[in-house]
Amino acid sequence: MRERLEWLRGNQERSPEEIAELQFEKLREIVGHAYRTVPYYRRVMDERGLRELDSPADLRRLPLLSRDILINEQDRLVSDEADIATCQTNFSSGSTGRRAQFKQDLDFRMWMRAHQLRTYEWCGNWRLGDPFALLWGSEIFWSFKQVIDQVDNLLSNRREFNTFRLSRALVSKLLNELSTFRPTLVSTYANAMHLIAKEAERRGSRIPGLRAIQGTSEPLPPALRETMRRVFDCDVYDKYGMRETNIVSHEHPGGGQMLIQAENVFVEVLDDRGEPCADGEKGRVVVTTLNNRSMPLLRYETSDIAALLKRTGELPYPAMSTVAGRRQDLIRTPTGDHVDAYLFSYLFMRFPEIHWFQVVQTEVHALRIKVYAPHGLRQDTVRTLVERIHHHTGHPFRVEFETLDEMPESSTGKFRLCVSELGGTTEEPA
């Protein structure tokens, strides 16, 4: 892992052209490996007369790997040369419906850890050995924990906190424990850390020594980011990834664009016709993994929406926008327009009594809004929100509010700000 981390650190001194060449060599190698050793890819590549890549554009001759294909072709997607002795079966979050499973070997997990550490170093100049806290709620993550992990955490000055059930008491306890531990960096679900920030604001306290917060696994809307930055007086960074691929992109050190982890993934952004989007044009994010030889995922369709960008920062990596959410998280108007979660975050988080919300759409003319407001939701706030929703969406939605006494539980520990149940796909709201 240290060797991999040192190599990743060294790559930061390369030119953008060198990084692009390095990425393509890894892409060409994994596609050739997939043809030689993975039955599913051998079949589809034979059908298309493709053996290897001459340029990144050749990758588009392969079909997209959908969640359904990943589920239905499980065995045929495993390499004949898979390192079965070290493979672990992991699972998707299930936030898009059916939960898929996939295999990841020790080599992939070592690269995953090295990439994680490099992104931590991009946050507030954190270095290995500095106090680090992970706030995580995934049942899958905690089911993999072993005694050796507890020893490793102790030796590496790392603490892990389970945010599976975000009750008011747990939020208060987490703030107490973080204040005692004094982490330099906290990597966390944005909603969990936002609730902790609201509790710290109520108390008039901070977390001593905290230099940076890294949001991960769910959107980091500007309103939540600003609350955390203001209350804890520290930098806040965004990270984008998923269990299937590990880290896809991370915010530039010091703030800025989301930088694609080119040694780990190859990213495409496609329009509705499956064609590449222009820089700055939002589309579907499609990811190819470069480090999982036991079960390579080529052109994996994530359902996330983002845009590729022209690089502007000092580091040599390709850039993309933040991910506002999944396609099925976009609220739809009767005219066919879509509204992403960031609009609702901007509207709702301006009211300090609201600590959490979720917008659920089950029919095109109506919205059901779950709100956690521990000290009550004022009627004038409700009226103002309805007026602003009507104004900004351009449609007089029928809006129903559901006030919660406690935070809801989530099987993954994270929460989607918007859940659309339109379009024939029934999601599983957190």
Residue 287 bridge partners (DSSP): 267, 300
Give a yes or no: residue 235 inside a domain: no
Give a yes or no: residue 25 inside a domain: yes
Q: What's the domain range around 60?
A: 2-109+241-323
d(CA 298, CA 65): 7
For residue 148, what are the contacts with CB-CB under 8 A and spacing of at least 6?
none
d(CA 53, CA 51): 7
d(CA 201, CA 349): 14
Could you report the per-residue pLDDT of 320-361, keeping only the tens digit for each?
999 866 655 678 888 877 776 667 877 887 788 888 888 999
d(CA 10, CA 14): 7
- Clarify whether residues 316 and 339 are in a common domain: no
Residue with tokens 């929406």: 305
For residue 141, what are the contacts with CB-CB under 8 A and spacing of at least 6?
none
Residue 96: predicted pLDDT: 44
pLDDT band at 429 (very low <50, low <70, confident <90, very high): very low
- Overall residue count recorded for the chain in this entry: 430
- Clarify whether residues 36 and 84 are in a common domain: yes
Provide the domain count of the chain.
2
Q: What is the DSSP string of 151-170?
A: HHHHHTTEEEEE-SS--HHH
- CATH number for the domain that contains residue 8: 3.40.50.12780
Please state the rounded mean pLDDT for residues 164-180: 86
Could you report the per-residue pLDDT of 364-390, keeping only the tens digit for each?
999 999 999 988 999 999 999 999 999
Contact 286, 23 (CB under 8 A): no
- Clarify whether residues 80 and 25 are in a common domain: yes
Exposed (0-12), middle (13-18) or buried (19+): which is 20, by Cβ within 10 Å?
Answer: middle
Give a yes or no: residue 363 inside a domain: yes
List C-alpha distances in Å: 41 to 1, 38, 45, 80, 267: 30, 6, 6, 12, 19
- Clarify whether residues 18 and 98 are in a common domain: yes
d(CA 112, CA 390): 44
